[in-house]
Structure 1
Amino acid sequence: MNNIIKHSFFILLTMLTMLVASCSYDEQINTYNVEVRLNHNVDGVAVKMTNSIGSTFEAATDANGIARFTLPSGIYSVSASKVSDDEYFRHVYNGALSDVAIGSNNTTIELPVSITTMQTTNPILIKELYNGGCQKDDGSGKFAIDKCIILYNNSSETVSLDNVGFGIIEPYNAEANTHSFLNGGKLDYADKDWIPALNGIWYFQKGNTIAPYSELVVNVHGAIDNTPTYSNSINYANTAYYCMYDMEATSSDGGKYNNTRYYPSPADVIATSHYLKAVKYGKSNAWPMSQTSPAVILFRTEDITPKQFGENPDNIIYPTGNEGNIVYACLKIPRRWVIDAMEVYNATALAKCKKRLTPDLDNGYATLTGGYGHSLIRKVEKTVDGHAIYQDTNNSTNDFYEADNCSLR
């Protein structure tokens, strides 16, 4: 019996010794310092390292794009990910490596990370509208065939101008005696999902972009140096400028935008790739943007080009009582496509002016005294790292001011 007890005690003692030895062995597992370096200096990227038995270790990168770990030896897979949203874009960071051996100190792992940037809202704004013309040198009146629209990229990313276009809303002038879509004080399309773009639309050719925090000048009429004849006017002979010029766009009555007073051959320095193209469905020989009080929209079509959309007769609308009359032909631009919009009232006829843009697009209006070189310029909200950020409240009364001169002078 004593032998049995002694033997059992020996076995128990042996097991305890093995257990203690095992614990001591576990406590002595070697660990190593590891740095995971991304190929971009981005902080806050979540980095995970998972070994062959499924143990996962996590750390975040610092401002230099480095995540630091203390790890036991083994074979690891490495992954990194981050989603970052700013006002206009979503930035997605992703990277992965497999079969990474850890077994020596001061190991550095170079992890390539790709960045995908997706536009969540559109940062392009109408920064300035110059449409009222200037005084002629001889004092005989105004010269107004020198209009322009200046866009601005309010973000830190380059933005494509593919499928981006311009339209003007019926009627041409806010102070017009007749407003075909306004009945009983309510716009016929107030509860619709579209807005009527009158006469024709213009759009950028494919491949053009607007750089971060930069402006882009689009001449509407007179893409030449106008200053030799009218010293108060604008010189559009600039390689960076764009212009509305399309002698081929044709409406159903055979009409073209070919009035050479409005469309002299553009200055040679303006590349043909900077010519905006037109879809013409109304009756005129020039795009009739008002000299006194236009309502301008900037839009981007979705899943269809502006040309395809504009040339589809199913997308044309006429005011009640003028069905089929090409003079009143409008294109039903979906309101969700509108990037920016600007309502202008004639400062000398405010009492007569009526709204054309719905409140979701522009809840106010900017006033203009035309004929004296004045321009409507968007207010700067703040500066970020030396870059202007322009105000955008969807209310032109708040967002714009009337300047004495166009900023291009």
Structure 2
Amino acid sequence: MTKLITILFFFFLLACTQYDVPSAYTVEVQVTYPETINNGGFIANANVNIEDKQTGRTYTATTNSSGQAFFELRGGNYDITVSTSEEHEIEIDGYTTRKTLLINGALTNQIVDEANIQLKLQTSFSIVNEGFVIKELYVSGSRTPEGKNYNADAFVEIYNNSDKVLYSDGLCFGTVHPITTFRPSPWVDSEGNLLDRIPCWAFVAIVPGSGTDYPIQPGKSFVIALNGINHRDDPNGNPNSIDLSNADWEFCVEDNGYYVDAPGVPNILMQKVSLMGVRAMVLSLKGQVSILFRLPSTNIGEEFTNPDNFMIQPGGSERCFMVPYSWVIDGVENVQLNDLGVYKRLPTSIDLGYIQHRGSGEKVSIRRKVKEVINGRVVYMDTNNSTEDFSTNQDPQPGVISAY
């Protein structure tokens, strides 16, 4: 019996050797500044995150003085991101000033299948926004008691995340083209990189005013509704929906055949920027990539009639209003939830990641996470990374500011 056990144990060990233990590979990621910051030198003490796209597991390492972060990874497909904030002197409109910069970078779909892989990650930067942010976005719609989808109750809420009074006059909200985020963007250069301007289509919504007509206090917000009614009790509404009768503005396009103008909510200025027959503001579950921006001048008519500010889609016929990165105050990629993948519409300097929520009719929003509360004023997270800054599948609460 002892001899038999010994033989069986021998064969057990032999069988185990037939299966190779998965190899671990050394991966080096070297992170550098944008070329205009520190001459494009190495970034030290920055956390580099690597996510295994198959398992969702995340690994983190900190860069050394040579900008290097080292990982031991099994073979697979990985996404790599880095985000840090630092103070630097930069030139704005010909003047040198010191600003806090948010420095982001990303490498996607990196295949690890050999040893000693060396990757270069060059970053881009944006000036840290201490002002207006997109606080909540609701585009999923709800369902009627009969089970039909109801999409007239969409809204966006914009929040003053600073400790100063800000004026919303002239603030613009736009939807980025195209909305199908499961397909690559056509708005790319010859090398496949996103253009240095962001295409807005359909309509751009603009807060009216002369510059100081619509102050927003620190820690306060304003809501723009697709249809500013109490959808719960309106005869044309949906009892399973939400109340938007207290919205500050309405995305109203007169005589569009879709939504009746709510008399109790003022209309925001709506500037049509597309040639195609769109008749309402696009707030779509297919991929609501949104930007908040300001025009470089107060002459709205001039900006929206200047042909240099428009472009025809490469390989297509859609005309869009093109927004330079420098105009953008905030942006969020609320992309469609499906198994077809995600293709970004915004540069990593504006939104490093993206956020998804459940499907059509689910009555869920995305909402910023609370970073801290200062003397009763809520400060929301704003790292220019929607993946980290937002919570998903939230109960829509237009105009409600909570520390939780």
TM-score range, shorter chain: 0.5 to 0.7
CA separation of 1:162/1:244 partners in 2, compared to 1, >3 Å: closer, same or farther? same
CA separation of 1:385/1:87 partners in 2, compared to 1, >3 Å: closer, same or farther? farther
Give the aligned residue type for 1:362: D
CA separation of 1:282/1:145 partners in 2, compared to 1, >3 Å: closer, same or farther? farther
TM-superposed CA distance for 1:368, in Å, is: 1.5
In structure 1, list runs of 5 or more residues that go unmatched: 1-84, 89-119, 248-257
Give the % identical residues: 26
CA distance in structure 2 between the partners assigned to 1:403 and 1:383 by the alignment: 23
1:366 to 352, 355, 362: 355
**Structure 1 position 405 matched with structure 2 position 388:** no
What TM-score, normalized by structure 1, do the two folds share?
A: 0.61
**Structure 1 position 227 matched with structure 2 position 232:** yes
Summarize the alignment of residues 93-112 of structure 1 with structure 2, pairs less than 5 Å apart.
none
Give the aligned residue type for 2:250: C
Q: Deviations over 1:195-228 (max 9, x none)?
A: 1112221100012222211121111x22212112
Summarize the alignment of residues 8-407 of structure 1 with structure 2, pairs less than 5 Å apart.
122-139=130-147, 141-176=148-183, 179-182=185-188, 186-189=192-195, 192=196, 194-206=197-209, 207-219=213-225, 221-228=226-233, 229-238=237-246, 241-247=248-254, 258-261=255-258, 263-266=259-262, 268-270=263-265, 272=266, 275-283=268-276, 284-322=278-316, 325=317, 328-347=318-337, 349-370=338-359, 371-407=361-397
Q: Is the 8 A contact 1:175 1:352 kept in 2?
A: yes
Q: Is the 8 A contact 1:243 1:276 kept in 2?
A: no
Q: Deviations over 1:301-341 (max 9, x none)?
A: 1224344212222211112222xx3xx11111111110000
Q: Is the 8 A contact 1:223 1:264 kept in 2?
A: no
Q: Deviations over 1:119-140 (max 9, x none)?
A: x95510000000110121112x
Q: Deviations over 1:62-121 (max 9, x none)?
A: xxxxxxxxxxxxxxxxxxxxxxx9999xxxxxxxxxxxxxxxxxxxxxxxxxxxxxxx95
Three-state SS of the structure 2 residue aligned to 1:351 is coil
Equivalent residue number for residue 76 of structure 2: none
Give the aligned residue type for 2:171: V
Q: Is the 8 A contact 1:151 1:217 kept in 2?
A: yes
Q: Is the 8 A contact 1:203 1:306 kept in 2?
A: no
Equivalent residue number for residue 24 of structure 2: none
Q: Number of residue pairs matched?
A: 269
In structure 2, list runs of 5 or more residues that go unmatched: 1-97, 102-127
Q: Deviations over 1:127-159 (max 9, x none)?
A: 0000110121112x3211211000110122221
CA separation of 1:132/1:185 partners in 2, compared to 1, >3 Å: closer, same or farther? farther
Three-state SS of the structure 2 residue aligned to 1:397 is helix
Three-state SS of the structure 1 residue aligned to 2:340 is helix
CA distance in structure 1 between the partners assigned to 2:232 and 2:380 by the alignment: 29
Instruction: Detail structure 1 runs of 4+ shifted over 4 Å in the superposition.
Output: 85-88, 182-185
Q: Is the 8 A contact 2:336 2:356 kept in 1?
A: yes
CA distance in structure 1 between the partners assigned to 2:292 and 2:313 by the alignment: 22
Q: Is the 8 A contact 2:291 2:332 kept in 1?
A: yes
Q: Deviations over 1:358-382 (max 9, x none)?
A: 1111010011113210000000000
Q: Deviations over 1:138-192 (max 9, x none)?
A: 12x321121100011012222111221011111122124x632257883340xx2
Equivalent residue number for residue 47 of structure 1: none
Q: Is the 8 A contact 1:199 1:329 kept in 2?
A: no
| TM-align CA RMSD | 2.6
CA distance in structure 2 between the partners assigned to 1:401 and 1:195 by the alignment: 25
Give the aligned residue type for 1:319: Q
